[in-house]
Amino acid sequence: MLEYTTENLTADEVARLRAVYEPLTQSVRELIDATIRTEVDAESVSEAKAAIDAATARLRSNQLDGSFGIRFGSDGDQMPWGNAVIGLRNPTAPPLKVEQAPDGSVFADFYLGAAYEGPPGHVHGGVAALILDHVLGEAASSAEKPRLTGTITMRYLRTTPLGPLRVEARIDRIEGYKTYAVGHIADADGHTVEAEGVFIQPRWARG
Amino acid sequence: MLEYTTENLTADEVARLRAVYEPLTQSVRELIDATIRTEVDAESVSEAKAAIDAATARLRSNQLDGSFGIRFGSDGDQMPWGNAVIGLRNPTAPPLKVEQAPDGSVFADFYLGAAYEGPPGHVHGGVAALILDHVLGEAASSAEKPRLTGTITMRYLRTTPLGPLRVEARIDRIEGYKTYAVGHIADADGHTVEAEGVFIQPRWARG
């Protein structure tokens, strides 16, 4: 059984926390990109590293024992702020902002830069899989009924260029505890990767 | 066609560059973890952010136009230093150090912390897919014959806890340009995710 932390945070308090942490996370995202692309000399790298280590020590002076987990506001809103794909406190997340279309399908427009590279100038195939796993899972889930991936298959049509991209997913059909979802990633020229998966309502979440 | 940059870097020069950039990347990995887990007050966050922004500006004062790509040393060694899974200059990579066993299979022991979370305390299913895609691809490839993912299927046996993990992969069979690979991620109690994929030698790499 996975533990979800419930806190009685008001909407105002959630907004305040977001305003504190979101700019920090965005700054670290910029630093990640700069770390990969920099060509400054060894002395500059060393001085930047010292400043970063000092910032890390300050942030670590009071920190959670483990990972962020998922917290809830008092209105029941989820705060998956450490999540590897959508977490607003996770600098490794692009992050995706997954939206729901009127027909129940979900989508996100997002940008992948140097940190997501596999083949030169192109998205790592595994990063495409990371994003499709998440977004098909969101299509298959609802706030009351979380679903986890059972199996998922990715089909790579061509390499995906780094840059602006879109992901879309929808439920294909539901059979008991199994929800079948399909989706794709696309660039301006069309689909680059397609996916289909079976998502399962965990036993502990069955009402 | 993907562009690979060839440089005439000697082994000594590659070692020097590694010594400059690997510690910086590791420091940024620590900062990522601290950013997710910190509970310091807003003033401390703001001051840490200012220090980070200054370090980023310094690193960006001389940088590559685009992503890192893959470079080669004069001995033909690949330097996929920006890679999202194994890149020694990519702070979002765990990074994996993939080793080859005597029987030709590949494996890596690695650690996933707060940055790789999906379900609370557990690895994001998509992160497992990212790692399996990469390692099955390495099993299917050789330095002379790169292979890209055609299709890959992940089967989730149970949720994978954050912490120390192992991934293994091997070639199952080869049929013309198609190489079939299988693999898994395991924790101390056994397999958590299994994968099988078809990897294809790109047209431009066929001799």
**3-state DSSP call for residue A107?**
strand
DSSP 8-state secondary structure symbol assigned to residue A161 = B
Got the DSSP string for chain B?
A: ----EEEEE-HHHHHHHHHHHHHHHHHHHHHHHHHHHB---HHHHHHHHHHHHHHHHHHHTSB-SS----EEETT--EE-TT-TTT-TT-TTS-----EE-TTS-EEEEEEE-GGGBSSTTBB-HHHHHHHHHHHHHHHH--SSS--EEEEEEEEESSPPBSEEEEEEEEEEEEETTEEEEEEEEEETTEEEEEEEEEEE--GGG--
Give the pLDDT confidence score for residue A201 in this predicted structure: 86
Give the pLDDT confidence score for residue B6 in this predicted structure: 55
Q: Is B113's CB within 8 Å of A67's CB? A: yes
Beta carbons of B165 and B149 less than 8 angstroms apart: no
Residue pointed to by tokens 């390692």: B135
pTM for this prediction:
0.94
Residue of B nearest to A70 (CA): B120
Give the pLDDT confidence score for residue A79 in this predicted structure: 87
Contacts of A6 in chain B (CB under 8 A): none
**3-state DSSP call for residue A91?**
coil
- Locate B18 and state its tokens: 């590694």
> For every one of its 207 residues, what pLDDT tens digit does chain B have, with 9 covering 90 and above?
445 555 678 889 899 999 999 999 999 999 999 999 999 999 999 999 999 999 999 999 999 999 998 877 766 677 899 999 999 999 999 999 999 999 999 999 999 999 999 999 999 999 999 999 999 999 999 767 778 899 999 999 999 999 999 999 999 999 988 999 999 999 999 999 999 999 998 776 675
Q: Is B84's CB within 8 Å of A118's CB? A: yes
Give the pLDDT confidence score for residue B66 in this predicted structure: 94
Q: Is A54's CB within 8 Å of B59's CB? A: no
Choose among A20, A84, A124: nearest Cβ to B42.
A20
Residue B62: C-alpha distances to residues A15, A34, A40 (Å) = 37, 10, 5
In DSSP terms, A179 is beta-bridged to A174, A199
Kindly report the average pLDDT of chain B as a whole number.
92
Choose among B24, B118, B155: nearest Cβ to A84.
B118
Nearest to B114 by CA among A16, A91, A15, A132: A91
Beta carbons of B87 and B68 less than 8 angstroms apart: yes
Helices (H), A85-150: 125-140
Residue of A nearest to B21 (CA): A45
CA distance A109 to chain B (A): 18
> For every one of its 207 residues, what pLDDT tens digit does chain A have, with 9 covering 90 and above?
445 555 678 889 899 999 999 999 999 999 999 999 999 999 999 999 999 999 999 999 999 999 998 877 766 677 899 999 999 999 999 999 999 999 999 999 999 999 999 999 999 999 999 999 999 999 999 767 778 999 999 999 999 999 999 999 999 999 988 999 999 999 999 999 999 999 998 777 675
**Residue A17 CB neighbour total at 10 angstroms:** 18
Distance (Å, whole) CA B84 – CA B160:
20
Query: Which tens digit of pLDDT belongs to each residue from B55-111?
Result: 999 999 999 999 998 877 766 677 899 999 999 999 999 999 999 999 999 999 999
Distance (Å, whole) CA A64 – CA A50:
24
The count of CB pairs under 8 A between chains A and B is 334
Got the DSSP string for A173-192?
A: EEETTEEEEEEEEEETTEEE
Nearest to A201 by CA among A184, A177, A183: A177
One-letter identity of residue B62: N
Q: Is B66's CB within 8 Å of A134's CB? A: no
Q: Is B67's CB within 8 Å of A20's CB? A: no
Contacts of B61 in chain A (CB under 8 A): 40, 44
Choose among A85, A91, A131: nearest Cβ to B35.
A91
Query: Which tens digit of pLDDT belongs to each residue from A161-176?
Result: 999 999 999 999 999 8
Residue B22: C-alpha distances to residues B26, B29, B205 (Å) = 6, 11, 30
Strands (E) across A30-115 are located at 71-73, 78-79, 99-100, 106-112
